[in-house]
Structure 1
Amino acid sequence: MNLERLKQEFNSKKKSILGALASGTDASPKGSVDKQIIPIMELLNSCPDAVTTSSCSGRVSVFLEGRKQSSTTSAPKQEHGADVAAAGGKGGDGRWLFVTHDHLSDDILQEGQDDAIFLDMVFGGIPSEPAAPRLLGQLSSETRYIHFKFEPMILHVLTETLDVANRLLTCAISSSFRESGIVSPLKNPVVAIRTMGLAFDSPVGVYDPERNMIQRFIEPSGLKLLARLTNDRFRENSIRIDSFYRNLLSTMEAPETPLESKQTRALRKKVEGINKGRGIAATRENRVEIQDPLEDGIPFLEDDM
């Protein structure tokens, strides 16, 4: 595909995306853009060769897994699978019981505050009780777990060319979003900016659908401890978001290289050198190597938004 065709396709997509943003259309469950990430979005969308496609500034959530396929169900019913959860617990009536894109108030997390109010909030109004001692022996492949989760910022940026994507990628990596990567590098590439180092996912109970009851693995004090940990993660997440914003400002102000500073150029050259070496090795062996995300943080990632 020639460069002019890529440019036309990019401009068409960008116009459509910005039009949807201007009209207030937002396909996320929240229905609006997180306020903390708006400055970054506006900055990137002001670039002629980049546009944001999806974003989340970070969130705390309590998630109820969907109905799972019984291990004794016949194969034809397994293939049907329309009302059962996929891997990860989504689908099959899997849903968020609680979601916030900001830290939790210290007032509600204090010891001595009304535990019933806190439990009602995080479990979405579903009543709960301490798990019975025999519960552990009753868990199976059909058990629906309750997860207490923190997920840091994630941002997807459509770019006009691979060169722009690589520059943006090095900027993200230098801001500690080390698990960032590039999707569809042969067309209009998408840069997925993310870090998994701040994320955590803790099972805190199981759901009893017959009684519409949650059986908790931990007491309210333990849940409040997890919530305080998410507040710590939120603070670090905000530091990284601010760092990314400052790096973007710096690179955009650099003459003749609107998405690159000296630091990000050095990182980009390092990344390009690694990729070039791997490409040569892959060609020699007539195969494509899968990069280890723990090795250098620059794999090509699937878009999960």
Structure 2
Amino acid sequence: MGLERLKQEFSARKKGILEALASGTDASPKGSVDKQIIPVMELLNSHPGAVTTSSCSGRVSAFLEGRKQSSTASISKQEYETGVAAIGGKGGDGRWLFVTHDPLSDDILQDSQDDAVFLKTLFGGIPSEPAVTQLLPEVSSETRYVHFKFEPMILHVLTETLEIANRLLTCAISSSFRESGIVSPLKNPVVAIRTTGLAFDAPIGIYDPERNIIQRLIEPSGLRVLGRLTNDRFRENSRRIDSLYKYLLPAMEAPETSLESKQMRARRKRAEGIDRGRHIATTRESRGDEDGDPLEGGISF
């Protein structure tokens, strides 16, 4: 495909995306752009060779897994008709019970606050009770868990050229979004700006569909501890978003060039070295080596 054709396709797609944003159309479950990510989006969209296609500034949620396929070879008629979910997936009636793109308020996290109100909010109104000891040995591949999650910022940016994509990728890695990457480099490249180092996923309950009740694996005081942990992650997530904005400012104003500055190259190489070290540590850990030691905290999912 010729360069001119790619530029025309990019211009048409950018025009449609910006028109949808201006009209308030948003395909996400929330239905609107997260306010914290707006400055970064506006900066990127102001560049003639870039446009944001999807975004999330970060969120904390309680998620109920969907129905899972039976471990037997065949699936039931109900599973076939209503659908099943992969592990942790949203199909088969998997859904968010609670989700927010802002830190949890201090009021809800105070141990002195009413537990019933807290649990009702977290579990989306589904009743809950402490998990009975006899229940735990009965868990299987079909058990539906409730997860408490923190998911950091993720941003996808459509670019006109690979040079612009590389420039954005350098900014992303330099601001600690180290799992960022480029998709479809031979067409209009898409830069996925993301990190898993801040993410975590903790099972906090087991869903009993027959009784429509959640058996809690963690008591309210422990759930509040997890909530405070997500607020710590939110703060670091915000710091990285601010850092990304600062790196993007000069990059978006610079003329197109395939050359990196010495400072930017040094940052990129350092980030790549950290990534390689973390990969080696993870490999050692998975093999049971005692000297495996992750270089960055966080439980990815």
What's the CA shift for 1:75?
Answer: 6.0
> Matched residues in 2 for 1:187 and 1:214: separation?
47
Quote the residue 1:284 is aligned against. Answer: none
Aligned length: 278
Q: Is the 8 A contact 1:179 1:293 kept in 2?
A: no
Match of 1:210 in 2: 210
1:85 corresponds to which residue? 85
**What displacement does 1:89 show?**
2.4
Contact 2:127 2:214 in 1 (8 A): yes
The answer to whether the 8 A contact 2:177-2:194 is kept is yes
Measure, in 2, the Cα distance between the counterparts of 1:65 and 1:159: 35
Could you say which residue in structure 1 is the equivalent of 2:188?
Answer: 188
Contact 1:254/1:260 (8 A) holds in 2: no
Instruction: Give the corresponding residue for 2:42.
Output: 42
1:17, 1:265 → 2: CA distance?
Answer: 32
The amino acid across from 2:243 in the alignment is: S
1:199 lines up with 2:208 in the alignment = no
* CA separation of 1:236 and 1:71: change in aligned 2, threshold 3 A: same
Pairing of 1:1-305 with structure 2 (within 5 A): 1-72=1-72, 74=74, 80=80, 83-254=83-254, 263-264=263-264, 294-295=278-279
Residues 65 and 87 in structure 2, CA contact (< 8 A), matched pair in contact too:
no
Give the counterpart letter for 1:149 in structure 2: K
- Equivalent residue of 1:90, what SS? coil
**In structure 1, what is the Cα distance between the partners aligned to 2:242 and 2:260?**
17
1:9–1:55 distance in 2 versus 1, CA, 3 Å: same
* Percent identical residues: 78
Compute the displacement of 1:90 (Å): 1.5
In 2, Cα distance between equivalents of 1:259 and 1:103? 39
Moved more, 67-76 or 91-100: 67-76
Which amino acid letter does the alignment assign opposite residue 115 of structure 1? D
The answer to whether the 8 Å contact 1:149/1:202 transfers is yes
With structure 1 as the length reference, what TM-score do the two structures score? 0.84
CA-to-aligned-CA distance 1:269-289 (integer Å, 9 cap, x gap): x59x99xxxxxxxxxxxxxxx
Q: Distance in 1 between matches of 2:49 and 2:151?
A: 28
The CA deviation at 1:224 is 0.3
> Do the aligned partners of residues 156 and 255 (structure 1) sit closer, same or farther apart at CA in structure 2, a change above 3 Å counting?
closer
Output the amino acid matched with 1:243: S
Using a 3 Å threshold, how does the CA distance of structure 1 residues 130 and 63 change in structure 2: closer, same or farther?
same
1:44 aligned partner, one-letter code: L
Distance 1:262 1:38 in 2: 30
Secondary structure at 2:207 match in 1? strand
Q: Give me the whole-angstrom Cα distance separating, in 2, the residues matched to 1:235 and 1:201.
A: 18
Does structure 1 retain, via aligned residues, the 8 Å contact 2:158–2:189?
A: yes
Quote the offset at 1:141 in angstroms.
Answer: 1.1
**Which letter does structure 1 place at the counterpart of 2:213?**
M
Partners of 1:258 and 1:38 lie apart in 2 by: 28
Residues 107, 75 of structure 1: CA spacing in aligned structure 2 closer, same or farther, 3 A cutoff? closer
Give the deviation of 1:72 after TM superposition.
2.8
Q: Residue 87 of structure 1: CA displacement?
A: 3.6
Cα offset for 1:86? 2.4
How far has the Cα of 1:56 moved from its partner? 0.2
1: CA distance, partners of 2:125 / 2:207? 13
* Partner Cα distance (2:26, 2:169) in 1: 25
- Structure 1 pair 121–212 and aligned structure 2 pair: CA distance change class (3 A): same
What is the Cα deviation at residue 82 of structure 1?
Answer: 5.1
Task: From the superposition, tell whether residues 5 and 19 of structure 1 become closer, same or farther in structure 2 (CA, over 3 Å).
Answer: same
Inter-partner Cα distance in structure 1 for 2:131 and 2:23? 47
Contact 2:163 2:257 (C-alpha < 8 Å) held by counterparts? no
Query: In the aligned structure 2, how far is the partner of 1:87 from the partner of 1:57?
Result: 25
Whole-angstrom distance in 2 between the partners of 1:245 and 1:238: 11
Structure 1: distance between partners of 2:76 and 2:146: 29
1:74 counterpart SS class: coil
| Post-superposition offset of 1:262 | 5.4
Name the amino acid aligned to 2:169: L
Please tell me whether the aligned partners of residues 148 and 202 of structure 2 are also in contact (alpha carbons under 8 angstroms): yes
Write the distance in 1 (CA, Å) between the matches of 2:133 and 2:279.
42
